[in-house]
Structure 1
Amino acid sequence: MSNTLTKIAPLRRRTVRAITGVSGVQVIVPIMVALLVILAIVGPLIAPFDAVYRSNILDSLQAPSAAHWLGTDGQGRDVFWRIIAGAQSSLLSSVLIVTGFSVLGILVATIATLGGKRADEIVMRIVDAALAFPPIIFALGVAAALGPSLSSAVIAMILTGWPVTARLLRGVMKETMSQPFIENARVLGVSRTRLMLHHVLPNSLDVLVVKWAGDIGNTILILGGLSFVGVGAQPPSAEWGAMVTGAKNVIATAPWAALAPGFAIALTALAFGLLGDILQVRFNPALRRR
Structure 2
Amino acid sequence: MAETHVETVRVQQTDEPVSSPWRDAWRTLRKNKLAIVGFIIIFVFVLLALLAPYITPYEYDKGELINKNKPPSAEHWFGTDYNGRDVFTRVIYGAQISLRVGLFSVIGSVIVGTFLGLLAGYYGRWVDMIISRLFDIMLAFPSILLAIAIVAMLGPSLENALLAIAIVNIPTYGRLVRSRVLSLKEEEFVMAAKAIGSKNSRIILHHILPNSLAPIIVTGTLGIATAILEAAALGFLGLGAQPPQPEWGLMLSDSRQYIQKAPWTVIFPGLSIMLTVLCFNLIGDGLRDALDPRMKH
Q: Residue 34 in 1 paired to residue 34 in 2?
A: no
Q: Which moved more, 1:21-30 or 1:184-193?
A: 21-30
Give me the whole-angstrom Cα distance separating, in 2, the residues matched to 1:169 and 1:189.
Answer: 24
- CA-CA distance at 1:96 after TM superposition: 0.7
Say which of 17, 29, 33 aligns to 1:24.
33
Say which of 74, 83, 88 aligns to 1:75.
83
Say which of 184, 190, 203 aligns to 1:195.
203
1:256 match: 264
Q: List runs of 5+ in structure 1 lacking aligned partners.
A: 1-19
Residues 140-191 of structure 1 show CA distances to partners (whole Å, capped at 9, x for unaligned) of 1111221111111111111111011101111001111111111111111111
Question: Could you tell me whether the CA contact under 8 Å between 1:71 and 1:257 is conserved in 2?
Answer: yes
Alignment of 1:85-124 (within 5 A): 85-124=93-132
1:238 match: 246
Question: Could you tell me whether the CA contact under 8 Å between 2:36 and 2:283 is conserved in 1?
Answer: no
* Consecutive aligned runs of 4 or more in structure 1 exceeding 4 Å deviation: 20-23
Question: Could you tell me whether the CA contact under 8 Å between 1:235 and 1:246 is conserved in 2?
Answer: no
Aligned partner letter, 1:38 = L
Question: Could you tell me whether the CA contact under 8 Å between 2:157 and 2:240 is conserved in 1?
Answer: yes
Name which one, 1 or 2, has greater alpha-carbon Rg.
2
- CA-CA distance at 1:284 after TM superposition: 1.1
- CA-CA distance at 1:43 after TM superposition: 2.5
SS in 2 for 1:203: helix
CA shift in 2, pair 1:45/1:65, >3 Å: closer
Say which of 272, 275, 292 aligns to 1:267.
275
SS in 2 for 1:71: coil
Alignment of 1:127-276 (within 5 A): 127-276=135-284
Q: Which moved more, 1:91-100 or 1:107-116?
A: 107-116
Give me the whole-angstrom Cα distance separating, in 2, the residues matched to 1:47 and 1:190.
Answer: 58
Aligned partner letter, 2:222 = G
RMSD: 1.8
1:4 match: none
Give me the whole-angstrom Cα distance separating, in 1, the residues matched to 2:179 and 2:123.
Answer: 14
1:14 match: none
Please give the TM-score of this superposition, normalised by the length of structure 1. 0.88
- CA-CA distance at 1:53 after TM superposition: 1.3
Equivalences, count: 269
Q: Which moved more, 1:255-264 or 1:141-150?
A: 141-150
Aligned partner letter, 1:72 = T
Give me the whole-angstrom Cα distance separating, in 2, the residues matched to 1:154 and 1:170.
Answer: 24
